[in-house]
Structure 1
Amino acid sequence: MNGYVLLLLLYAGALIALGILASRSVRAAADFFVARRSLGAGRLFATLLAANIGAGSTVGAAGLGYQFGLSGWWWVGSAGLGSILLALVVGPKLWALAAQHGFYTVGDYLEYRYGRTVRGTIAVILWVGSLAILAGQWIAVAWILDVVAGVPKPFGCAFGGLVTILYFAAGGLVSATWVNVVQVIVKLSGFALALPFALGSVGGWTGLRETVLAQDAIGSPYFEFVGFGLDRVLAYCLMLVPSFIASPGLVQKVYGARSAQAVRIGVGANACALLLFAFLPVGIGMAVRAAHPDLAHRELALPVALVSILPVWLGGILLAAIFSAEVSSADAVLFMLSTSLAQDLYKRFLRPEASERELLRVSRLTATVAGAFGILLAIMLPSIIAALSIFYTLLSAALFVPLILGLFSTRPRERAALMAIALALVVTAGTHLAAEGQGIAGLPPIAFGLLASFGAMLPALLRPGR
C-alpha cells in the first residue's frame, strides 16, 4: 500500500473516532445546530479557520503564487479582511439576535427580519448551490489522491465524502468543532513546516528571486505585493470580503458562541490567522515556480511540492494538511445544507410541531442523505472546481445586502428584500455570462450584483421611518 494512502487512512480514522466520541454529548437539535451556544473563543476560532482554509486557500492559493508571485496573497488575505468585519461589526449583532430569539439558521434570522417568503427563497438558493459546492470539495480530495497515490476518482470522492459524513452526522457542530481543532493544528503545522523546506530547496529567498527573475516573461512584479495589479486586488476584495461576512456556514457557527466577546475574539483571531496563513501556500507555489517553471496547470504546484520537493515525512504531513483543508470546508458546507433542510424546510413548512429530539434525528438523516448525493454528484461530474465559484458568488450576492442592511435598519421589508435578491442573482449571473466570467472594467460580476441589490433596497432605506 502507498505510504501516503496508509497515512491518510490512519488520520481519517482518528478524525471519525474523535467526531463520534464528541457526539456522545449530543442530545437535542440545539446541540447539533449551535453546540448549545457553548463555544468559547478558542473553539470558535478553530472551527471558523478550519472552514475558511479549504481547497481554494491551499491548492488554489499555491497556484496563484506559482503564476503571479507574492500578490497571490490577496486571495486568502481578502478572506481575512472580510473576517475582520464579521468579528467587529456583523458577528456580535447577529449573535445577540440569535441568542435572544433562539435562531439556529440564517433562515431563522431572515424570517424574523423580512418574512417567510424571503426565508424560503434563500433556502432554495442555498440547497442548489451548496450541493454543488459540496461535490466540488470531494472532487478536490480525489484529484489530490490521484496525483500523489494514483487513487481512482470514484474511490477518492467516496473516501473524502464518507469521512466528512461520519464525523459530522454523528454530532453536528459539537463534533465538527472538536475535529476542526485537530484539523487546524495539522493544517498550520504542515504548511508552516513545508514553506522553509520548499524555499531551502531553491536556495532560499535569494536563490528563489535569482532563479525566477532569470526565467522568461516574469520580471520584478512577481515579488511585489500588488504585482498583478490593483484591479485584480479590488476584484478579489469585492468577490471575497462579502462572502466571508455573509456565508451561512460561517454565520451559523457564530451562533454557537457563548458570548459576544467570544465572537469578537474568536472570529478576530481567525481573521488574523488568515492574514498570516495567506503567505504560506503562496510562498510554496513560488518555490515550485523556481524548481518547475513549466507545469501544465498552476494548480499542480502544491501536489508537485508534495511529491517532488519535500522529504517524504514532510510530504505526508502536508498531504494530511491538504486533506484536512478539503474535508473541513466540506463539513462547513454540509453543516449549512443539512441544518437548512432540517430547520428551514422540515421544521418550518412540513412539521412545525417537531420536537428537539425529532429535529435532531432529521438533521442527522439530512446530513447523511445530502452527503450521499454530494458523493454521487462528485463522481459523475468530470471537473467542476473552477466553475463552482459562481455558485458561492451567487449565494453571497443574494444574501449579503438583505442580511447586512437588516441589522442596521428596520425600514426595508419583505418586498424590498425579495427584489434585492432577484436583482443580485440576475445581474451577477448576467454579468458573469456576458463577460465570460472576467467581469467588466476590472470589477467582478458580484460587484454589479451587490450594487443592483443595494439599489433595490435604497428606496426603502430613504423612506421616512415609522
Structure 2
Amino acid sequence: MIQTETLLTFGVYLVFLLAVGWYFYKRTSNIEGYILGGRGLGGWVTALSAQASDMSGWLLMGLPGAVYLGGMTEAWIAIGLFVGTALNWIFVSARLRAYTEMTDTLTISSFFEKRFNDPTSLLRVGSAVIILMFFTIYSSSGLVAAGKLFESMFNIDYSVAVITGAVVIVSYTFLGGFMAVCWTDFFQGGLMFFAIVLVPVLGTIDNGGISVIEAEMAAKNISTSLFHNGAGTPLSIIAVISTMAWGLGYFGQPHILTRFMGISSIKELPKATAVALIWVVISLAGAVVVGMVAIPMFDGLHGGEQEKVFIYMISKLFNPWVGGVLLAAILSAIMSTIDSQLLVSSSALTEDFYKKILRRDASEKELMLVGRLCVLVISIIAMSMALTPGNTVLGLVSYAWGGFGAAFGPVVLFSLFSRKTTWISALSGMIVGTLVLIFWKDAGLGATMYEIVPGFVANFLTIMAVNMFAPQKDEQILADFDKMKEALKK
C-alpha cells in the first residue's frame, strides 16, 4: 500500500500543476495566446518543453519495458531518436519559425495551406484530420501510462485510474492553453531529468554494477549487445533500420514543431538546441539502463507489466518522500505529452475546421471557448480507447508516431527546403504516405519493418515524382521561399 508521505508529495505536485493552469488562464485573452502563446517562449522553456512533450510516458515506462524484455538490441530505438532529435533542431527549427511567422500561421495545417497557396483547402483539412486521428491514439497511450501509474500507486481499478489521470491532465490544459502547457512541461522536463539520472545510477549500484547486471542478462538469454540478440544471433540490417527509423518521425510531430513556432526569436534557437540535445542523450541513456537494471531485480514481468519496472524500482530503492517526487516524474512524462497533444488537436479543430469552415467571423472569445471544449471532447475519446484491455504504451505510441512521420515528415522537409514543391505534390505525398503506413500495419508487416519506413519513403518519392512533372511556378510562392531564407541571415 502506498505510504502517506508519498501521497502528500505527489498531491502537492498535482496542486502545483493546476495552479500553473489557473495562472495562465487569467493571462490568456485571445486564440493566438491560447494556441501558440504569442510566440513568446524563451530558449530554456522551448528546449525542455519540446523534449518533455516528445519523450512522454514511454521514456520512463515504454522504453525501459522494451529493454527489460528484449535487451540492448532495443537501444537502437534510443539511438534513432537522438539522431532524429538532433536533425530536427538543427535543420527544421529555424526555417519553420521564420516561415510560420512570415505566413502568420498558428497550426501546421494552416502553414501547409498558406505555404503552398492551396486554393482547395484540402491540404489544410486533410492534415487536420490526420492530426486528430493519430493524436487521439497518441493521447490514449499517455492515459494508459497514467492508468498504470495510478493503479500501482493507489491500488485502484485500472479504469478508475485512467479516468483520474485524464481529469488532472485535462484540467490545466483546458484552463491555460499553450503557455500553461509549455511552462508545466518545463518543470516536468527538469523533474524527468532528475529521475532518469538518479534511479538508474542507484539501481546499478544496488545490483552490484554493470558487469553483474550483464551476467544476469546473459543467464536469461537477454541481449547484452547492440548487434546480437539473446541467443547470440547477429541482428539483421533490416532490424536495425526498422528500430532506428523512430528518428524519422521527428520531422512530422506537430506537438514538437509547435515549440519551434512559438519561440520568441530565431536567435534563441542555438541555446535551445544545445539544452535539448544534452537533455535527450542523457535521458535516453538513463531509460535504457533502467530497463537493464530491472532484469535482475524483477522476474517474470510481461503482458504490459514490464512497463511498470520504473515504478517498482522507485518503491524498492527510495524512502516514501523521495519516492513521491520520483513517481511525480513519471506523471510528468505522461502529462507533458498528453497536454501538448490535446492542445494541438484542439487547435486543429478550432482553427482548421470551426473557424475555416463553420464560423469564419467567430470572435476571439468564441474561438477560445470552442478550443477548450475540443480539449474535453478529444480527451473523452482518447480515454475510451485507453480503457481497452491489453493496450501497451509503446504499442500505441509506435503507431501514432509512425503515422505522423509518414504523413507529415516529408511534407515539412519539402516545404522548408524545396522551391519546386506545389500543394498538389504535398497533398499527394501526404495521402500516399498515410495509406501505405495504414496498409503496412494492418497487413501485419510491421513485425518485419516498422511501418514508418515504407510510409515515409512512399511520401517522399511521391512528392519528388509530382515535382518533376508539375513544379512550382507561382512567382509569389517562389519569392516567399527566398524571403524566408533571407530572414535566417538576420
TM-score (norm 2): 0.87
1:296 and 1:365 mapped to 2: Cα distance?
Answer: 38
The alpha-carbon deviation at position 44 of structure 1 amounts to 0.2
1:363 and 1:206 mapped to 2: Cα distance?
Answer: 53
Partner residue in 2 for 1:260: 266
Residue identity over aligned pairs, in percent, reads 21
Partner residue in 2 for 1:38: 40
- Asked if the contact 1:31–1:173 (Cα under 8 Å) also holds between the matched residues in 2, the reply is yes
1:77 and 1:35 mapped to 2: Cα distance?
Answer: 32
Which secondary structure state, in structure 2, belongs to the residue aligned with residue 444 of structure 1? Answer: coil
Partner residue in 2 for 1:103: 105
Could you tell me which amino acid in structure 1 is paired with residue 258 of structure 2? Q
Q: 2:254 aligns with which of 228, 231, 248?
A: 248
Partner residue in 2 for 1:127: 132
Could you tell me which amino acid in structure 2 is paired with residue 176 of structure 1? V
Partner residue in 2 for 1:403: 412
The Cα RMSD (Å) is 2.3
Q: Which segments of 5 or more consecutive residues in structure 2 lack a partner in the other structure?
A: 230-234, 474-490
TM-score (norm 1): 0.91
Could you tell me which amino acid in structure 2 is paired with residue 192 of structure 1? V
1:465 and 1:294 mapped to 2: Cα distance?
Answer: 58
The residue correspondences of 1:42-441 to structure 2 (distance < 5 A) are: 42-114=44-116, 115=118, 116-213=121-218, 215-218=219-222, 221-222=223-224, 224-228=225-229, 229=235, 230-238=237-245, 240-297=246-303, 298-379=306-387, 383=391, 385=393, 386-439=395-448
The alpha-carbon deviation at position 158 of structure 1 amounts to 1.8
Distance 1:353 1:152, change over 3 A: same
Distance 1:226 1:319, change over 3 A: farther
1:329 and 1:14 mapped to 2: Cα distance?
Answer: 18
Q: Deviations over 1:381-433 (max 9, x none)?
A: 65353245323312321111122112222333233222212221222222223
Distance 1:384 1:193, change over 3 A: closer
1:314 and 1:211 mapped to 2: Cα distance?
Answer: 28
Q: Deviations over 1:16-38 (max 9, x none)?
A: 11221133221111211111111
Distance 1:231 1:272, change over 3 A: farther
- Asked if the contact 2:45–2:186 (Cα under 8 Å) also holds between the matched residues in 1, the reply is yes
The alpha-carbon deviation at position 15 of structure 1 amounts to 0.8
Q: Which segments of 5 or more consecutive residues in structure 1 lack a partner in the other structure?
A: none
Distance 1:193 1:60, change over 3 A: same
- Asked if the contact 1:111–1:119 (Cα under 8 Å) also holds between the matched residues in 2, the reply is yes
The alpha-carbon deviation at position 274 of structure 1 amounts to 1.0
How many residues are matched?
Answer: 458
Could you tell me which amino acid in structure 2 is paired with residue 235 of structure 1? S
The alpha-carbon deviation at position 126 of structure 1 amounts to 1.4
Q: Deviations over 1:99-152 (max 9, x none)?
A: 112210001111113321011111112112212221221121111222343121
1:24 and 1:151 mapped to 2: Cα distance?
Answer: 35
- Asked if the contact 1:138–1:157 (Cα under 8 Å) also holds between the matched residues in 2, the reply is yes
Of 411-420 and 334-343, the range deviating more from structure 2: 411-420
Could you tell me which amino acid in structure 1 is paired with residue 15 of structure 2? G
Distance 1:426 1:93, change over 3 A: same
1:146 and 1:194 mapped to 2: Cα distance?
Answer: 21
2:185 and 2:112 mapped to 1: Cα distance?
Answer: 28
1:77 and 1:267 mapped to 2: Cα distance?
Answer: 17
Distance 1:109 1:314, change over 3 A: same
- Asked if the contact 1:347–1:353 (Cα under 8 Å) also holds between the matched residues in 2, the reply is yes
- Asked if the contact 2:251–2:412 (Cα under 8 Å) also holds between the matched residues in 1, the reply is no
Partner residue in 1 for 2:480: none
2:195 and 2:260 mapped to 1: Cα distance?
Answer: 27
Could you tell me which amino acid in structure 2 is paired with residue 89 of structure 1? F
The alpha-carbon deviation at position 309 of structure 1 amounts to 4.2
Distance 1:226 1:154, change over 3 A: same
Q: 1:8 aligns with which of 5, 10, 18?
A: 10
- Asked if the contact 2:105–2:111 (Cα under 8 Å) also holds between the matched residues in 1, the reply is yes
- Asked if the contact 2:148–2:308 (Cα under 8 Å) also holds between the matched residues in 1, the reply is no
The answer to whether 1:452 aligns with 2:458 is yes
Q: Deviations over 1:226-281 (max 9, x none)?
A: 4553543321222x222222211111121111111223432442233111211112
- Asked if the contact 2:169–2:339 (Cα under 8 Å) also holds between the matched residues in 1, the reply is yes
